[in-house]
């Protein structure tokens, strides 16, 4: 949570005072308005507000017609939702390597394509764009749908176009740790009207009885609705997005300059620096030991370094995949019907990169004293 205040509190109180907490009540319009505002802000035609980024990915895959017998290629680095969402629709997640940008390696993407591959989910991890030119080229050559996981990248761009709007659809998350937040929440955006309708029916199996109209036949959906309170808070947060991004990018440049003047560091490859969200700085080292020295030097109360693993973000952590535990019942477990052996020691190149990488997370606008102290600690350790 980067910025939160009276506007968000007033939004929540307004909805509570109205008694219209559920989006289908007669005078409830917060979710509708948030969807319209989000689509407009990102330059998409449609948005579907849901209760998490994982739900947004599930809705996206369902809207694209992905299901049993299909394979979906995902990168070895990104939240475990990239694995859970294909499994939720009965598809097999096939993990490809990342490269030194920490995002999906287009060459390994190509190597993982089989006759069963139907989609790819590039992850714009930490607000850093994946190589969408190369990924979309490979996808087009093989007839694959591209579902962007922009859960950590709201407001980020790639060559001037908003992340999440370049593929067939894009998923966003608004949980506590994202750039804008209501504690939890998510959204799927697309400019395809039929995909929007299929995603909407997926996110709410009862929406066929609501005031909404659909251009596609109804089917059994789920219950991923966003509450009116969350939508109202997110509308207030969306109005802060530009301010937050400006602050993060300014901080990225200040902290990056301080680190660069303290020691010779190798930033990770970035496909569009100007369009990155600025939530982190990331450096790649020659060895895990050198990465550890830098991590120890940077670590403080104000600056939080990490190595990209933990909390379900890296391939070795996805034990349910390695153990082929893809569902609670054998007939709901797509991993039992796959030729892929995705053991914990796989994706060795990705694991090596993550061991030698350190990411630096910082406050929205750290004071000069914090930045100066950071410079001194890194200079002593590595200069």
Backbone angles phi, psi at 148, to 5 degrees: -75, 130
Q: Edge-to-edge, what's the strand order for the sheet holding 92-96?
A: 46-50, 186-190, 169-173, 145-149, 117-120, 71-75, 92-96
The answer to whether the CB of 368 falls within 8 A of the CB of 254 is: no
- Both structure tokens of 193: 């009207």
CB 281 within 8 A of CB 252: yes
Burial of 380 (0-12, 13-18, 19+ CB in 10 A): exposed
Q: How far apart are CA 208 and CA 41, in angstroms?
A: 27
Q: DSSP labels for 205-220?
A: TTGGGSS---SS----
Ranges of each domain in the chain = 6-238, 241-310+348-382
* Percent of the chain as helix, strand, coil, to the nearest 5: 40, 15, 40
| pLDDT of res. 64 | 98
Q: What is the pLDDT along the chain (383 residues), one digit of tens a residue?
A: 799 999 999 999 999 999 999 999 999 999 999 999 999 999 999 999 999 999 999 999 999 999 999 999 999 999 999 999 999 999 999 999 999 999 999 999 999 999 999 999 999 999 999 999 999 999 999 999 999 999 999 999 999 999 999 999 999 999 999 999 999 999 999 999 999 999 999 999 998 888 888 999 999 999 999 999 999 999 999 999 999 999 999 999 999 999 999 999 999 999 999 999 999 999 999 999 999 999 999 999 899 999 878 789 999 999 999 999 999 999 999 999 899 999 999 999 999 999 999 999 999 999 999 999 999 999 999 87
pLDDT at position 111: 98
Alpha-carbon span 296 to 378, nearest angstrom:
9
E-only strand ranges, 13-82: 46-50, 71-75
CATH of 241-310+348-382, one of 3.20.20.140, 3.40.50.2020, 3.90.1150.10, 3.40.50.1000: 3.90.1150.10
Spatial contact of 187 and 172, defined as CB atoms under 8 Å apart:
yes
Residue count of the chain: 383
Kindly tell me the number of DSSP H helices and DSSP E strands found in the chain: 12, 12
**CATH T-level assignment (fold) for domain 6-238:** 3.40.640
Burial of 254 (0-12, 13-18, 19+ CB in 10 A): middle
Report d(CA 72, CA 51) in Å as an integer: 23
Count Cα atoms within 13 angstroms, Cβ side, for 363. 11
């Amino acid at each position: 949570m980067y910025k939160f205040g009276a506007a968000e509190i007033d939004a929540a109180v307004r909805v509570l005072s109205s008694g219209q907490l559920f989006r289908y009540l007669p005078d409830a319009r917060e979710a509708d308005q948030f969807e319209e505002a989000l689509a407009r802000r990102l330059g998409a035609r449609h948005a579907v507000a849901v209760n998490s980024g994982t739900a947004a990915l599930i809705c996206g895959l369902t809207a694209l017609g992905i299901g049993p017998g299909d394979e979906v290629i995902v990168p070895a680095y990104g939240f475990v939702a990239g694995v859970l969402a294909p499994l939720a629709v009965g598809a097999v997640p096939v993990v490809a390597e990342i490269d030194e940008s920490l995002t999906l390696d287009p060459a390994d993407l190509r190597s993982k394509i089989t006759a069963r591959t139907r989609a790819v989910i590039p992850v714009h991890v930490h607000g850093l764009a994946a190589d969408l030119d190369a990924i979309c080229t490979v996808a087009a050559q093989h007839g694959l749908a591209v579902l962007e996981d922009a859960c950590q990248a709201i407001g980020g761009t790639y060559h001037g176009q908003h992340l999440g709007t370049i593929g067939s659809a894009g998923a966003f998350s608004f949980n506590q740790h994202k750039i804008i937040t209501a504690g939890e929440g998510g959204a799927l955006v697309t400019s395809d009207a039929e995909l929007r309708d299929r995603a909407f029916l997926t996110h709410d199996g009862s929406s066929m009885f609501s005031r909404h109209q659909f251009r596609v036949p109804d089917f059994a959906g789920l219950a991923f609705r966003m509450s009116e309170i969350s939508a109202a808070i997110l509308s207030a947060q969306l109005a802060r997005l530009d301010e937050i991004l400006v602050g993060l990018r300014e901080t990225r440049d200040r902290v990056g300059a301080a680190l660069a003047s303290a020691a010779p560091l190798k930033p990770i490859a970035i496909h569009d620096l100007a369009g990155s969200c600025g939530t982190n700085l990331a450096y790649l080292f020659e060895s895990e030991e050198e990465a550890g020295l830098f991590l120890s030097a940077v670590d403080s109360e104000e600056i939080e370094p990490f190595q990209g693993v933990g909390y379900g973000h890296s391939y070795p952590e996805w034990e349910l995949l390695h153990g082929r535990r893809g569902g609670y019942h054998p007939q709901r477990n797509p991993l039992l019907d796959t030729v892929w052996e995705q053991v914990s020691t796989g994706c060795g190149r990705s694991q090596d990169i993550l061991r030698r990488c350190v990411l630096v997370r910082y406050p929205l606008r750290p004071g000069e004293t914090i930045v100066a102290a950071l410079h001194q600690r890194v200079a002593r350790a590595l200069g």
